[in-house]
Amino acid sequence: MAFEIFGYEISKKKDKAPQAAVVTPVTPRDDGASIVYSSDSGSYGAAAGYYGYQFDLDGVVRNESQMINQYRTIACFPEVDGAIEAIVNDAVIIEQGRDPVSLNLDGLPKQYHPLRDTIREHFDHVLNVLNFNDNCHDIFKRWYIDGRLYYYVMIDPKNPKKGIVDLKYIDPRKIRKVIEYQRENRNGIDVIVGQKSYYIFNDAGLQSAALGVKLSTDSIINVRSGLVDANTGEVISHLFKGIKPANQLKMMEDALVIYRITRAPERRVFYVDVGNLPGLKAEQYVNNVMNKFRNKVVYDAETGEVKNNRNYMSVCEDFFLPRREGGKATEIQTLPGGQSLNELADVEYFQKKLYQSLNVPRQRLLNDNVMSIGNPNEVTREELAFAKFIQRLRNRFNVLFKEALRIQLITTNCIRQSDWEKIRNCIYFEYQHDNYFEELKRIEVFNERMTQLQTADGFKGIYFSKEYIVRNILEMTQEEWEEIQQQMKQEKIDEAREASELENANAGDQESDDQFGQDSSEGEGDDGYNDFVSGNDSAPEEVDQEGDTTDTIDDTAEPNPGEDDFDRPATPGLKATM
């Protein structure tokens, strides 16, 4: 509400202009965010700040918190925990001396190649801030169970060029994303003309819209599972479809325990003859008989002692039934125990359903299953699907690295936001591979392609062209084929350069040896040998160690037909022994 005083108008501070957006009658949907609509003409909301907005945040947050609590509850079940451990162990590999994840910048545009080393240094800084090498298992497991991951980015306001100082984990039950859409009525139709996003955080938990701190979207890194409930539009965890089977399995196991306790022991049935005693007297008489025959020695499971007291389990007590005069006399019979205590078909059925809902091959979760290594034919379809599932999880989890790296590069003035938009899709993250079945699949496919290539190579130029073999047998794309051609061309150039350098080095060594021999001969003072080197015909005959004379070879003579140049003597007048 605005009012005027002394010629000035005092009113509430208006919000900033809405974010530019395409005018559309369809509300853009951001999965997992609370939606707020504002009226046309003016700022967002009609009350004081975001505290005055009216939307059903309480119900949504309460439901989301309950779902996260259920995820964490079933994650403690042995079967579910074993499946989660199998997934996390395949997704992030921890090996001595090797990073779980590395940066691949081979796809960067050429103008950004000088920045590759700098980008790698900043990525290493992000991993150090997260302490990812030590906590990668816990971080990935937390994200997989909750279905979302929040980090608060801490930057020194006095020196923002230092980049990210720390990344603080936020419990997803304490934070919520909110998107405000500004609507205008145009020709009787409400259209979206702007939007504004932020997060609401409360360390004590979100209970209402008025209790929370407003945080900008740039200060929060939000990594979601990628799964959305089609009915509510909320982000769900990969454990969502395992909630019902897990609860059913737990209920069946509890019922099985109760049944075994109540039906396993054999109990006695006492038929006590009470004659013509009235009801009250008959009951007292039966109680006296019951106290007389009751076994009073019990076993204390907590201390391991055998005690003589009356602390019994009611389900294991004997039965005492009165019998009137005229019937049979007092009789003791044995009530047999349960006959189907070894039937576990119903438990195994729900256990199988739970394993199917956890996205893990059932063979991995069976205790009696032995993994055989060395035969690629043993790779099952479930293992291939599991390898693809792990790759999808990694792609979704990469949002954590990309967002942290983006903030680090921009705050340190390494690149600008416009540069990041150009290179964001050229940055890849490589994880350590430990999936043995995935490696077997790759090797088997490669061997089959090589076998087909050898077969088709004999028909090249007759029935198949070179391009057909590359595209249909090797299944290479045009980019891959051009890259390989360029690599082979570069390898030939490098080999030719190495051969030329080696030949020049050998020629230089030969010249050095010749020069060394000439200098040595000049220093000896042998006039006859010097005259021979200078070309005089009166060169003396050389005598070998045995005293035989050697003939000289005239360099003026024509070489033998077919003799190469490098077979000639390198020095004029060089003699050869016969």
373-417: per-residue pLDDT in tens? Answer: 445 455 577 888 888 899 999 999 999 999 999 999 999 999 999
CB contact at 8 A, 181 and 192: yes
CB contact at 8 A, 242 and 74: yes
| pLDDT, tens only, 464-510 | 888 888 888 888 887 788 888 889 999 999 889 888 888 888 877 67
Give pLDDT, residue 213. Answer: 86
Give pLDDT, residue 370. Answer: 52
| pLDDT, tens only, 522-556 | 554 445 444 434 444 444 444 444 444 444 444 44
CB contact at 8 A, 440 and 377: no
The average confidence (pLDDT) of the chain is: 75
- pLDDT for 275 beyond 50: yes
The residue with greater pLDDT, 299 or 426, is 426
| pLDDT, tens only, 190-217 | 787 788 888 989 888 776 545 678 899 8
| pLDDT, tens only, 416-468 | 999 999 999 999 999 987 656 667 777 888 888 888 888 888 888 888 888 88
Please state, in angstroms and rounded to a whole number, the distance separating the CA atoms of residues 82 and 80: 5
Measured in whole angstroms, how far is the alpha carbon of residue 24 from the centre of its chain?
37
Please state, in angstroms and rounded to a whole number, the distance separating the CA atoms of residues 418 and 67: 39
CB contact at 8 A, 384 and 441: yes
Give pLDDT, residue 564. Answer: 44
**pLDDT-based confidence at 221, cuts 50/70/90?**
very high
Please state, in angstroms and rounded to a whole number, the distance separating the CA atoms of residues 16 and 37: 16
Residue that is written with structure tokens 């609370």 in the block:
34
- pLDDT for 274 beyond 90: no
- pLDDT for 521 beyond 70: no
| pLDDT, tens only, 310-324 | 544 444 566 666 776
Give pLDDT, residue 148. Answer: 93
Give pLDDT, residue 207. Answer: 62
| pLDDT, tens only, 93-148 | 887 777 899 998 988 888 998 999 999 999 999 999 999 989 999 999 999 999 99
Q: Closest Cα partner for 45 from 23, 67, 13? A: 13
How many other C-beta atoms can be found within 10 angstroms of the C-beta atom of residue 552? Answer: 14
Please state, in angstroms and rounded to a whole number, the distance separating the CA atoms of residues 194 and 8: 30
